[in-house]
Amino acid sequence: MFSTIIQQIPGEDPIQNIVGYLFSFLMMAIFFLFYNRIQMTMWLREIEGALGRLEIMRNEARRVAITTIKEAGKPENEIDSKVDRILDYFQISPVNLDPSGIVWKLEHLIDVRDNRWKEDVQMMAPAAEKAQINNLENLLQVASGLNLLYRIVRHYYLFGKKMSSFYVIMQLQMLLPLVMQEADALTGALNAFAKGQPIGDGAGALVAAKLMHGKKKKIVAKEVVSADFKLNGRRLLVLKAEGPGGNVGRPGDGIEKLMEDHRGKVSLIIMVDAALKLEGEKTGEVAEGIGAAIGGIGVERYKIEEIALKYKVPLNAVIVRESVQEAIAPMKKEITEGVDAALKRVMQLIEERTSDGDTVIVAGIGNTIGIGQ
């Protein structure tokens, strides 16, 4: 073998070539033997960096929440421990082995959760007004979300490191970009909720606010207002969450109330909401479709679909496209332009799909923080 190598490489030191080949084989063997350990070490360092960022984000969210509550609510006692207790709130989903009635169980839990949050915020911020209470509640929910993300990533990091599990660390590293995107979105929402600024998710509510501007309003459901007026020969029933505090209301109950009050008279339901865009799509693009355009866990959408089915009323949807970060960050210029385009699309739908004398429900869905009536 050595003589063959010497013949193939004339003019070079044969011993040096042999040592080089042996060294290469040795390095390859070490690489294959310790590849998983080397790769996991690199992943752990990357996760450690992300975990440090998450901890900074969580601590900053906690600081902003405490500072804002003190400024708006003028508490008499220290609230740091109370805020920490709220940040660890959790909700246990109802049993779904028998799905019958699960929607109403979910609705009850949501009501209990919302009431608990509001009561705790009111106790910590006795001087805060109603709109400020809603904003502070949203702010604490953002801080709670960041706290949960940090705890989950820390759990899998420590668990994978403790068990030296290549696959646990690998999955965490692969999901890390999505986790950090969510964390960046929540961090971007801090100032918006602290200052009461409109956010991207309020696109649908802003469309409704533009329609009902200057009209007489009334409360039709929990934290939902509606305006009844005529436009271009049609009767419009426009509803949105009660503003300008951070609030999404109960639009399902609102639409159900309007449908029951105008039995057989409603010809069309149009729902306007923000929707997540796909990569490559432009922020503020408007599209239309069919169905109940509303997010959440499904309670409100279930109510809307049930009442629409009961009276055989078509459900039309208009959406304004935006990213996850843009949905909970201060509303961008592109989204406000999309709101104007969505309003035009709503009017076009009314003109094309209804006739003179028809009654149409227009529901602006979304968080109405910073958006009045």
* Closest among 90, 185, 189, 89 to 139, alpha carbons compared: 189
104: tokens are: 């109403």
Question: What CATH number does domain 200-364 carry, 3.30.390.30, 3.40.50.300, 3.40.50.1470, 1.10.3720.10?
Answer: 3.40.50.1470
pLDDT for 98: 83
Are 237 and 228 a contacting pair, CB within 8 Å? yes
Is the sign of the CA dihedral 84, 86, 92, 93 positive or negative? negative
* Closest among 207, 340, 326 to 275, alpha carbons compared: 326
What are the φ and ψ backbone dihedral angles of 352, each rounded to 5 degrees? -85, -35
Cβ–Cβ contacts within 10 Å for residue 219, how many? 13
For residue range 50-97, what is the model confidence (pLDDT) as tens digits? 999 999 999 999 999 999 999 888 887 888 899 999 999 888 988 888
Residue 204 CA to residue 329 CA, distance in Å, equals 15
For residue range 269-310, what is the model confidence (pLDDT) as tens digits? 999 999 999 999 999 999 999 999 998 889 999 999 999 999
The model's confidence at residue 11, banded by pLDDT at 50, 70 and 90, is low
pLDDT for 5: 43
* Closest among 202, 331, 313 to 268, alpha carbons compared: 313
Look at residue 14 and tell me whether its pLDDT is greater than 80: no
Lowest model confidence (mean pLDDT) among 3-17, 194-208, 210-224: 3-17
Round to the nearest angstrom and report the end-to-end CA distance of the chain. 89
CATH 3.40.50.1470 boundaries in the chain = 200-364
Residue 217 CA to residue 208 CA, distance in Å, equals 12
240, β-bridge pairs? 225, 364
Give me the mean pLDDT over the 193-200 stretch.
91
Residue 48 CA to residue 135 CA, distance in Å, equals 33
Q: What is the pTM of this model?
A: 0.85
Q: Which residue has the higher pLDDT, 361 or 130?
A: 361
